[in-house]
Amino acid sequence: MHYRKLGNTGLFVSEIGYGSWLTFANQVDLDRAERIIRRALELGINYIDTADVYAKGKAEELLGRVLAGKVRRQDYVLATKVYFPMSDGINDRGLSRKHIFDSIHDSLRRLNEEYIDVYYCHRYDENTPMVETIQAMQDLIRMGKIMHWGVSKWRADQIAEAASKCKANGWIPPAVNQPPYSLLERDIEDRVLPVCEKHGVGTVVYSPLAQGILTGKYSGGTVPEGSRGSIDALNMFMRDRLSDEAILGRVDELRGICNSCGLSVAQLSLAALLQQQGVHSLIVGASSVEQLEENAGASGVQLTQEDLEKIDALFPGPRRLGGRLKRSGSSLSGCAIMRKVSVLGRRPVVHHGGYMTHTAILLRVERDS
């Protein structure tokens, strides 16, 4: 597993993360959840993502039961989120100071944790002043309830405004943005990624396989029994694509590239995103150990320019895959890539001359020229 420095923080996250959206307390029960998380940690995956609203708190509860007393807290980076309604209560929603404080205490209780590593504003709240939300996050950091705060699916101008307000007032800025991003949905390359890069905000993306469309399992419109696409309660975000012959045909064309580089369709789809500067981690929602192991194989893959051009031709986006984002000044921001990472037991070691040391981790950050 390879690791990347998250934006302008000192936090390192695995290139492949694991998320519990649509899986925990839905497709995945306690026994399977324990096997998946255990295997994820063995593979070097250290970023684990959830949210209070996933299965109305049940996903957090299940994850809390899996992690409680079984895994060293130092060995994983835990993220959860706040925004969506958790009841019919008028104040049990949004990003008001009250809801943020109520929600963090509820999440910590469900997760059986003393603190959260990354606490996301799950959406932008038009009804709450941004300053109120930012100040609430500052207080949670000072109280030790959270280590970092972030945003999810915020527009580029909203991210820039938040980062600018923090800089102007000496506040801790958002550490990370979590948008959807896949070969089928590359809109963030236009404005969101460059803005995050400029302000030192990391990018951890969700749905990198478009809920499974980019695994190739739905080739020809076939929907395997037991897959997410076959479950009406879970396929609402992919239903239209299951019958889109044009999209499924382009996914099938990826197989030719896969054959030349020894990857599966899923691995190629993930590896292509990891070539994009400014992207730090891809959250996969594997519902089995086998899927997780396959997805983890995308970490560290270096695709040729020829392969990237072929993928771009099939799934064009605002920016060439592997293209560089504009940098502001000479400071290191955005994506710092860990090269040639090996995991020896629980200790990631990055091989290079001129090391930086930090307790049990020996690291060197390479930056693109």
Active site residues: 54
| Helical H segments across the chain, by residue range | 30-42, 58-67, 97-111, 130-142, 156-169, 192-199, 239-242, 245-261, 265-274, 289-296, 305-314
- CA gyration radius for the chain? 20
**Cβ atoms 121, 104 nearer than 8 A:** no
Using CA atoms, how far apart are residues 48 and 79, in angstroms rounded to an integer? 6
Other CB atoms within 10 Å distance of the CB of residue 230 = 13
Using CA atoms, how far apart are residues 37 and 42, in angstroms rounded to an integer? 9
Residue matched to tokens 């963030």: 188
Using CA atoms, how far apart are residues 40 and 346, in angstroms rounded to an integer? 12
Using CA atoms, how far apart are residues 140 and 360, in angstroms rounded to an integer? 28
Query: What's the token pair of residue 218?
Result: 């739905």
